[in-house]
């Protein structure tokens, strides 16, 4: 299934930020009666994983500059808030290439993240992150990448099977995705849910949370002795030709 844009531990090109105005969302909601039910997909329940970038505004390559053969690395550290905002603390480039650090500093506050998770409470939380921004090529042919340390090893989680697969339909005219955190009891019941991230932000959250709370699951092997925090991605799409502003996650 499609996934929201995210960067793996290796380098991957930075991409422009995604956005949608409140006016556009209001127009979509007003047109709901004319739309058929949305097609929905629910991904598997899986461990939440680390905080990763979702939207990255690409730094502008310094004018007239050319990176050395090995490229230029800018180290970034800061705090990702529970709502996905990034608050940079340090942006550091080596002596002699400070212009690249200035380029990153100009945009890094606009980056959005999939936030860390407090797995005991199974809710988004604040957390520290470290990233590297790499510049290669030149201002005429720039290549800019973002990388992060590899994720820490995690103990395996028993496989979960979703018993209720028929999802209620949505008619609000908004395409997008929602990542839901679910605290799953040893008997398969849902003890609590929370939205980790969504796009467009907030427009589908309550409807999808209602779907997630009604789902029933079972452990396919021996259930854990304590509740487990897992996440699940829901994608909502209508299809082309219906007057809906298409979301990048939809085919």
- What does the mean pLDDT of the chain come to? 79
CA-to-CA distance for 98 and 135, rounded, in angstroms? 12
Domain boundaries in the chain?
31-49+158-237, 52-147
Per-residue pLDDT at 30: 32
> pLDDT (tens digit, 9 = 90+) per residue, 93-146?
999 999 999 999 999 999 999 999 999 999 999 999 999 999 998 888 889 989
Contact 12, 6 (CB under 8 A): no
pLDDT band of 164, cuts 50, 70, 90: low
CA gap 53, 115 in Å, rounded? 9
Domain 31-49+158-237 has CATH 3.30.2420.10: yes
How many angstroms separate the Cα of 51 from the Cα of each of 128, 164, 188, 192, 233?
9, 29, 26, 21, 15
Report the candidate in 52, 45, 48, 37 with the shortest Cα–Cα distance to residue 5.
Answer: 52
Q: Which CATH class is domain 52-147?
A: alpha beta
CA 42 to chain centre: 15
């Amino acid at each position: 299934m499609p996934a929201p844009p995210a960067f793996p531990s290796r380098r991957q090109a930075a991409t422009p930020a995604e956005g949608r105005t409140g006016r556009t969302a209001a127009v979509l909601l007003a047109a709901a009666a004319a739309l058929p039910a949305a097609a929905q997909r629910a991904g598997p329940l899986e461990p939440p994983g680390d905080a990763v970038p979702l939207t990255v505004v690409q730094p502008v390559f310094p004018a007239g500059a050319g990176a050395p053969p090995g490229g230029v690395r800018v180290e970034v550290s800061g705090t990702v808030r529970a709502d996905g905002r990034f608050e940079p603390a340090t942006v550091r480039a080596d002596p002699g290439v400070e212009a690249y650090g200035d380029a990153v500093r100009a945009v890094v506050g606009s980056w959005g993240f999939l936030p860390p998770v407090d797995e005991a409470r199974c809710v988004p939380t604040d957390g520290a992150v470290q990233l590297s921004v790499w510049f290669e090529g030149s201002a005429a042919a720039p290549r800019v990448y973002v990388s992060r340390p590899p994720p820490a090893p995690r103990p395996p989680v028993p496989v979960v099977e979703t018993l209720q697969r028929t999802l209620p339909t949505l008619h609000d005219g908004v395409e997008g995705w929602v990542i839901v955190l679910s605290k799953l009891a040893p008997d398969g019941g849902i003890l609590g849910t929370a939205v980790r991230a969504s796009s467009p932000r907030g427009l589908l959250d309550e409807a999808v949370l209602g779907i997630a709370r009604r789902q029933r699951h079972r452990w396919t092997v021996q259930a854990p002795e304590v509740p487990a925090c897992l996440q699940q991605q829901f994608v909502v799409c209508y299809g082309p030709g219906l007057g809906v502003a298409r979301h990048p996650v939809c085919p």
